[in-house]
Chains A and B, each alone.
Chain A
Amino acid sequence: DAKTTQPNSMESNEEEPVHLPCNHSTISGTDYIHWYRQLPSQGPEYVIHGLTSNVNNRMASLAIAEDRKSSTLILHRATLRDAAVYYCILRDDYLISSGSARQLTFGSGTQLTVLP
C-alpha cells in the first residue's frame, strides 16, 4: 500500500472543530483512503473512508484534495472522548486481489489531545 504521512500529535480545545491532515503523495487511482482511531486501552475503530469525493458520516467528515495527494479528517466538535490516536490508511483493491496487502497497514498515526 502507498505510504501516508501524518503529524505525530495535535491538540484541540473541547467543542471546537479539529482538522487532522494526512499526506499521501504516491496514492494510486484505486487507493481508498480510510481513517481509524484507537482510544486508550481499546481496539482500533473505523471512522470513515472515501475514494474521490468528500464523505460525511455521524462521526466525522473526510475532505479529499482534488489531486488526492492529501486528505483531512474533520471532527466537527471535539469532545474529550475523541482523544485518541488517528490513523490514515490507504487500501488498494488491485494489491489485495494480487495476493499482497491483505491487512491494514497502520503507521504511527496522530495522537489527538483534547483540552477541556
Chain B
Amino acid sequence: EAQVTQNPRYLITVTGKKLTVTCSQNMNHEYMSWYRQDPGLGLRQIYYSMNVEVTDKGDVPEGYKVSRKEKRNFPLILESPSPNQTSLYFCASSETWGAKNIQYFGAGTRLSVL
C-alpha cells in the first residue's frame, strides 16, 4: 500500500531537548516536504526536498533542520525545541514537484514542547 509514515504520532518533550520526527515513503517519490498546522494559521511549509541531497527552505524554517540522505526518508530535526514549536506536523511526498502531481500526506505528528 502506498503510504507516507510519520513517527512518532504524539510527542511531549521539554524545551531544549533535541528531537527527530521521522518520515518515510514507499512510493519512490522524488519530492518530499514538511508542513506545520496551527489553529488560525493553516498549513505552512517548513522545508522541502526535490531529491536526495537537495533541500530548501519553505515559509517557516526557523528552528528546524532536515536531511535527505536517502530517497525514502526525510526526517525533521528540532535541535533545541521551544514552546512555539508546539504544533501538528505533516510530512508529504509526490512523484515530482510538478503542478499535476498528487501529494500524499502522513497521518501527522502532534508535538507539545513544555
A residues sitting closer than 8 Å to B (CB atoms) are 30-32, 36, 41-46, 49, 91-93, 96, 102-104, 106-108
Number of interface residues of B (CB under 8 A): 25
B108 and A42 contact, CB distance less than 8 A:
yes
B100 and A49 contact, CB distance less than 8 A:
yes
User: Residue on A with the closest CB to B104?
Assistant: A46
Inter-chain contact count A-B, CB under 8 Å?
Answer: 55
Given A42-B107, A44-B90, A106-B43: A96 and B48 interface contact (C-beta under 8 Å): no
**B2 to chain A: closest CB distance in Å?**
11
User: Residue on B with the closest CB to A50?
Assistant: B100
A45 and B48 contact, CB distance less than 8 A:
no
Chain B residues within 8 Å of A36, by CB? 103
B103 and A46 contact, CB distance less than 8 A:
yes
**A11 to chain B: closest CB distance in Å?**
22
Nearest 9 A/B pairs, CB to CB: A43-B105, A91-B99, A103-B45, A93-B99, A106-B43, A46-B102, A32-B99, A44-B105, A43-B90
Report how far A96 CA is from B94 CA in the complex, Å: 14
